[in-house]
């Protein structure tokens, strides 16, 4: 009969018989070194020797033990990210006969593949905005595993920005909101719920401050290109590019590239259309700002209205929600190898899946898990 550990499902410890009696096997124990030498020729079996009988574990038991040790190692490794890599998750808010329990924000954040989504430029801004909203109000509602996943993804985002120099302003805003939230939580630790040791959160805050310093010292690499550049395009094409931008800060940043772009970025009609796109007529009629010449200063109005009202958000790709199946998912791209009528990346049972799809904004994603 083998000696089992505290968990009856485990294959147990390895024991050897010595002069002082039975002792548990330790890989680097000097006292048992001589006894262990005779086991070197056996790679996947455990021998329990007795006076009259002998028992050998099967290969299946040893494989189970190896899988268990590997799983425990992944759980204990703080730098690893052992989470699901799925494109969809079933969102259920109450127990049913088919499903027990309910889906939480932390579970959805773990199961949906946000780690790979940040590598796609169309989904990058969406994931960053979602992390920013979680940092503002939902950080303490995440489980310990979800919080660990959150900071692992954040680490990958900062590395990507440092390497590719893509949209550092968006990441700076995220880190600023996150550091402010952590400062409040750490100071009032007795009044709030923080999963994990307080020293872990202090280390995370120090890491965030280090990231902020690195982004502050970030220098944009000057690209040498002898081919066609942005300044070589005609004026009507440059103006068309500016009119397609939905963020006022992006327009100002692009206007700093060349004097021609600066002239186009100061166009009153450009800022007027931007105000009309983001805000209702009643909203900007209440906050009229006139210039010295008596004209409406649409540029100043945009930034004034931005402080009072939310602006419309645009993303290259978002999560989608199937109202028929109650499934939240990333849409799959159609390729020549998988041309199907069903565009959704989930097993939809509706006759026409496209009629059930609904794009999910970052705020809507959080609202789905509020009970």
pLDDT tens figures, 166-192: 888 889 999 999 999 888 887 766 555
Segment 291-308 mean pLDDT = 85
338, pLDDT greater than 60: no
pLDDT: which is higher, 162 or 32:
162
pLDDT: which is higher, 220 or 156:
156
Token digits for 267? 């166009």
* pLDDT above 70 as % of the chain: 70
Confidence of residue 340 (pLDDT cuts 50, 70, 90): very low
| Phi and psi at residue 287, to the nearest 5° | -125, 50
Token digits for 203? 């280390």
296: left (phi over 0), alpha (psi -120 to 50) or beta: beta
164, pLDDT greater than 50: yes
Could you give the CA distance from residue 105 to residue 84 in angstroms, rounded to a whole number? 15
195, pLDDT greater than 90: no
Could you give the CA distance from residue 72 to residue 64 in angstroms, rounded to a whole number? 12
- Cβ atoms of 58 and 85 closer than 8 Å: no
- Amino acid 265: pLDDT: 92
- Amino acid 341: pLDDT: 35
119, pLDDT greater than 50: yes
Confidence of residue 199 (pLDDT cuts 50, 70, 90): confident
Confidence of residue 130 (pLDDT cuts 50, 70, 90): very high
| SS3 of the chain | CCCCCCCCCCCCCCEEEECCEEEECCCCCHHHHHHHHCCCCCCCCCEEECCCCEEECCHHHHHHHHHHHHHHHHHHCCCCCCCCCECEEECCCCCCCCCCCCCCHHHHHHHECHHHHCCCHHHHHHHHHHHHHHHHHHHHHCCHHHHHHHHHHHHHHHHHHHHHCCCHHHHHHHHHHHHHHHHHHHHCCCCCCCCCCHHHHHHHHHHHHHHHHHHHCCCCCCCCCCCCCHHHCCHHHHHHHHHCCCCHHHHHHHHCCCHHHHHHHCCHHHHHHHHHHHCCHHHHHCCCCECCCCCECHHHHHHHHHHHCCCCCCCCCCEEEECCCCEEEECCCCCCCCCCCCCCCCCCCCCCHHHCEEEECHHHHHHCCCC
Confidence of residue 212 (pLDDT cuts 50, 70, 90): very high
- Cβ atoms of 365 and 319 closer than 8 Å: yes
- Amino acid 270: pLDDT: 92
Please, what is the Cα angle at 120 between 330 and 129, to 5 degrees? Answer: 75
85, pLDDT greater than 50: yes
| Phi and psi at residue 296, to the nearest 5° | -75, 125
Query: Across the chain, what does the average pLDDT equal?
Result: 75
pTM value is 0.67
- Amino acid 283: pLDDT: 82
Token digits for 92? 């259920």
Q: Rg of the Cα trace of the chain?
A: 29
Could you give the CA distance from residue 39 to residue 25 in angstroms, rounded to a whole number? 11
Neighbouring residues of 26: CB distance < 8 A, sequence distance ≥ 6: 32
């Amino acid at each position: 009969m083998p000696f089992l550990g505290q968990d009856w499902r485990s294959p147990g410890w390895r024991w050897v018989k010595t002069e002082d009696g039975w002792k548990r096997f330790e890989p680097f124990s000097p006292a048992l070194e001589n006894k262990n030498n005779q086991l070197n020729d056996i790679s996947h079996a455990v021998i329990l020797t007795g006076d009259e009988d002998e028992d050998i574990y099967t290969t299946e038991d040893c494989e189970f033990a190896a899988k268990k040790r590997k799983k425990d190692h992944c759980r204990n490794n703080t730098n690893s990210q052992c989470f699901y890599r799925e494109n969809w998750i079933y969102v259920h808010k109450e127990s049913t006969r088919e499903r027990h329990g309910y889906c939480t924000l932390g579970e959805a954040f773990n199961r949906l593949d946000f780690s790979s989504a940040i590598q796609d430029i169309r989904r990058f801004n969406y994931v960053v905005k979602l992390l920013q909203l979680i940092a503002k109000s939902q950080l303490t509602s995440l489980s310990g595993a979800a919080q660990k996943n959150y900071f692992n993804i954040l680490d990958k985002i900062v590395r990507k920005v440092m390497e590719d120099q893509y949209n550092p302003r968006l990441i700076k805003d995220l880190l600023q909101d996150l550091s402010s939230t952590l400062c409040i939580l750490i100071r009032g630790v007795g009044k709030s719920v923080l999963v994990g040791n307080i020293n872990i959160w202090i280390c995370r805050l120090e890491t965030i401050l280090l990231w902020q310093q690195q982004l502050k010292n970030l220098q944009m690499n000057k690209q040498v290109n002898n081919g066609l550049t942005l300044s070589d395009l005609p004026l009507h094409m440059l103006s068309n590019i500016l009119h397609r931008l939905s963020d006022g800060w992006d327009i100002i940043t692009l206007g700093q590239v060349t004097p021609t772009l600066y002239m186009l970025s100061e166009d009153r009609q450009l800022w007027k259309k931007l105000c009309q796109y983001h805000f209702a007529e009643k909203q900007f009629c209440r906050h009229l700002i006139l210039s010295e010449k008596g004209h409406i200063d649409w540029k100043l109005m945009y930034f004034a209205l931005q402080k009072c009202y939310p602006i419309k958000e645009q993303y290259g790709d978002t999560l989608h929600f199937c109202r028929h199946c109650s499934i939240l998912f990333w849409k799959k791209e159609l390729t020549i190898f998988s041309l199907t009528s069903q565009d959704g990346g989930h097993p939809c049972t509706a006759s026409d899946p496209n009629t059930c799809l609904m794009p999910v904004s970052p705020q809507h994603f959080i609202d789905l898990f509020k009970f």
